[in-house]
Structure 1
Amino acid sequence: MPKKKEKKPFDVEHMTPEEQLKFEIAEELGLGDRVLKEGWRCLTSKESGRIGGLITKRKKQMQKESESV
């Protein structure tokens, strides 16, 4: 029987830049409180997909801005 993964506490103080972007987008979508309380696994696939799509969009936008400078 596979082991159940332990729930790691969500540490707002020590996030990588990518995690910061992910959490920022989650907050914009109104999901920040849920993520803080229950972790990323509490999100539905639709919510996770929305966050992933917005991360991709934002990264492309940031890359485009850095190239134009």
Structure 2
Amino acid sequence: MTEKDLLKIEIAKEIGIWDQVQNEGWESLSNAVCGKVGGLMSKRLRNGSKS
């Protein structure tokens, strides 16, 4: 698992979608939720993984 995968999982847990991802997979998420996860990942990667 890559560092980006771990970051994506961490964010999913923080915003409360991790249970859905585990049960139904990433493809079950709406475009809006995927965009939110991606945006938060980009922000953290730019800022050095600061919360």
Q: What is the root-mean-square deviation of aligned Cα atoms in Å? A: 1.6
Equivalent position of 1:61 in the other structure = 47
Sequence identity (%): 42
Equivalent position of 2:17 in the other structure = 31
Structure 1, unmatched stretches of 5+, are 1-14
Higher Rg: 1
Return the structure number with greater helix share.
2
Structure 2, unmatched stretches of 5+, are none
How many pairs align? 50
Equivalent position of 1:17 in the other structure = 3
The structure with higher relative contact order (CA 8 Å, sep 6+) is: 2
